Amino acid sequence: MTGRKPRIGILTSGGDCPGLNAVIRAAVKTAERLGYGCIGFLRGFEGLVDPVSYMPLDSRATAGILTQGGTILGSSNKGRFSATTGEDQRVPLDPWLLEQVAQTVRQLSICGLICVGGDGSLTIAQQLHEFGIPVIGVPKTIDNDLAATAFTFGFDSAVASATDALDRLHTTAASHERVMVLEVMGRHTGWIALHAGIAGGGDVILMPEIDWTYENVCRKVLLREEEGKHFTLIVVAEGARLPAGGTVHTPAAGECQQVRLGGIGLVVAEEVSRRLKRDVRTVVLGHLQRGGSPTTFDRVLATQFGAHAVRLVHDGQFGQMVSYHPPQIDNVAISEAVRSLSRVDVGSSAVQAARALGISFGDAAELLSPFAHGERSPAAHSPPVA
């Protein structure tokens, strides 16, 4: 490293989301103030191996990217680096790939490699760490499904996008007295569906954590009609399981690829229409949830993540992932972070609030008292009447 300042490498892996560029910008600015140079590897982990591809990063290269969606470094969620084929299914990396990465790190004088990604990408990062490569993880997923951090950046932006869609669907559904089904992302968890459903005035929320039936969904539509409300908004997570079991998906393209979820919105719409003889329309947000500028919350969170990741490199705390434990930014072992997914607690305050508002989860619970799931009734908090 004689004559060359130590370098920090940065890469973004997995699906893109708003806030990735904010992480890159914060990491570069922090690194420069601490005396490090920075390089960004292109196309995720693929940029680390033959052909090695990277770009120099400094304040000039990252100027103006704070508000931009996507990532200036590019990303990939397929190829030679595939460590996750499904929930709890890990695939060991080829030893040749690990040695190639180690060689790249040595040749480019990389003193720390910041890997920004979700569950699958962090599983790869953990394997690099176990091989002796100095790695720091930064959590990124719009699904908000990493248990080791309260929130991941990208989630708030995705919820904002889904909420905006519901706001728009509300007016057209009311005008034409229709049932509207909005399909949102959420492979294993219903965080986006839950938060957007509450914020956007949804009437039914279907998500992986709660079993539901078509009968209960249709009952909610009919109950609203009895109340004089001749339209219904249904929000469904792409990973919600069908009443008969299983998900709606396209088979995996390769042995080390996950199945492609999507299509449950149309299935729900067709079944509700068949049963109730109603006009039902479907909207699938898909990748619209990943695009666009990050929200203020995601910009702040991603900026803090990037700065803290560089501090961990500076302190030699490798094998750690940056995490958010309100109000502080902290860190946990990557191995701990990828051990389990964060699922919606069906007894959480958010779910309780939704039920109290009359939102159905398709499980018939809307027919019960809103306080029937662990909450005491208001009378239990009040003194007896004299």
Is 363 within 8 Å of 211 (Cβ atoms)? yes
Is 27 within 8 Å of 313 (Cβ atoms)? no
In the beta sheet, which residues pair with residue 282? 181
- 7-153+294-337 with 157-291+344-367: one CATH topology? yes
117-144 pLDDT, tens per residue?
999 999 999 999 999 999 999 999 999 9
Instruction: Give yes or no: 143 in active site.
Output: yes
User: At residue 38, does pLDDT exceed 80?
Assistant: yes
User: How confident is the model at residue 4, as a pLDDT?
Assistant: 74
Tokens representing residue 59 in the block: 């304040």
User: How confident is the model at residue 246, as a pLDDT?
Assistant: 86
Single pTM value for the model: 0.89
Of residues 16, 119, 143, 203, which has the active-site annotation? 143
Topology (CATH level 3) of domain 7-153+294-337:
Rossmann fold (3.40.50)
The crossing angle, in degrees rounded to 10, of helices 119-130 and 95-107 is 80
Q: Is residue 116 packed enough to be buried (19+ CB in 10 Å), middle (13-18) or exposed (0-12)? A: buried
User: At residue 234, does pLDDT exceed 50?
Assistant: yes
Across 68-93, average pLDDT: 75
Is 367 within 8 Å of 220 (Cβ atoms)? no
Among 128-142, 252-266, 364-378, name the one with the lowest average pLDDT.
364-378
User: How confident is the model at residue 378, as a pLDDT?
Assistant: 38
- pLDDT band of 384, cuts 50, 70, 90: very low
* Domain assignments of the chain as residue spans, ordered by start: 7-153+294-337, 157-291+344-367
Which helix (H) or strand (E) segment holds residue 275: the answer is: helix 264-276
Other CB atoms closer than 10 Å to residue 100's CB: what's the count? 16
Assigned superfamily of 157-291+344-367: Phosphofructokinase domain (3.40.50.460)
In the beta sheet, which residues pair with residue 249? 261
DSSP-derived secondary structure for 207-224: -TTS---HHHHHHHHHHH
**Of 305, 328, 336, nearest in space to 115 by CA:** 305
